[in-house]
Structure 1
Amino acid sequence: MSIKENAAVSQLLALLEARYAMRVLWALRDGHAQTFRLLQDSVGSITPNTLNTRIKELREAGLVGHGGDGYSLTVSGQDLLKRLSDLQAFAGKWQLGQVKKAAAPATAPSSTPSASASMPPSPAAAQAPAPAAPSVSSSSPAAPSSSPPLDTGN
């Protein structure tokens, strides 16, 4: 990639990295124009000042336009989102992978030998007993307090 191409990509990424910029574009992806208030609701938890700033930046970049019905994507904005359309499919696959990765340690098979199983325990491990876990029973009542009960005056 040439220096000029790198600069263009860097410039676009800087624009898209701005807080809520991608959400604004994503909210407009269906092609229907949205008023400021509707766009604010579509993006969610964005302040009017921040939305105003993002709209201004995206309009200056030629990605968002404003017409009689409200804000919508320009042809360039539509082209960008078309190129990013695989993001939703990728996000679904990625999220599934994250869930599987998080569940993997809990369901890891114990029949596979680990490297540490074939090694003798270290002297420090042999000398230091493992700390005992405190026993907690959810069905037993809490231990009585050593302080006297409060007199409520009843």
Structure 2
Amino acid sequence: MSFPQPGDVVRGSTTGRPIMALLDLLGRRWCLRVLWELHQTPASFRDLQARCEGVSPSVLNTRLGELREAQLLENGERGYQLSALGQELVQQCLPLALWAENWAAQLPARP
């Protein structure tokens, strides 16, 4: 398993800039969802799979491995949990969650 690291050539960028490596990692299927589902409480593999509603076991296993290798997740007493680095990343995403709530409130209701 290998995750994109700063300095690597990644999908869509040959610059090696750290942000490009991060965007490549976070752009992988289910990656952001896994991080989001773990931002409040740790979870076992089965619990996390249920929270992610439809992720296959093989994809979830791959993403967990990549996120552990990137030091964003760790195995804790109660299952998978965000590492300090993962918690910091999710904190940076919280303004996006607030923006999304405001956006949803401004959209007209669907019939």
Moved runs in structure 1, 4+ residues, more than 2 A?
Answer: none
Which residue of structure 2 aligns with residue 87 of structure 1?
96
Which residue of structure 1 aligns with residue 20 of structure 2?
10
Deviations 1:52-98 (A, max 9, x none): 0000010010001012321000000000001111121100122233x
The TM-score with structure 1 as length reference comes to 0.58
Deviations 1:19-40 (A, max 9, x none): 000000000010x221100011
CA distance in 1, matches of 2:30, 2:45: 14
User: Alpha-carbon deviation of 1:6?
Assistant: 6.7
Q: CA RMSD in A?
A: 2.0
Give the fraction of aligned pairs with identical amino acids, expressed as a percent.
37
Letter paired with 1:18: R
- Unpaired stretches in structure 1, ≥5 consecutive residues: 104-154
- Unpaired stretches in structure 2, ≥5 consecutive residues: 1-6, 8-14
CA distance in 2, matches of 1:94, 1:9: 25
**Count of aligned positions:** 97
The TM-score with structure 2 as length reference comes to 0.79
Letter paired with 1:11: A
Structure number with the bigger relative contact order (C-alpha 8 A, sep ≥ 6) is 2
CA distance in 2, matches of 1:64, 1:44: 20
> In the alignment, which of 4, 8, 19 is matched to residue 29 of structure 2?
19
Bigger Cα Rg: 1
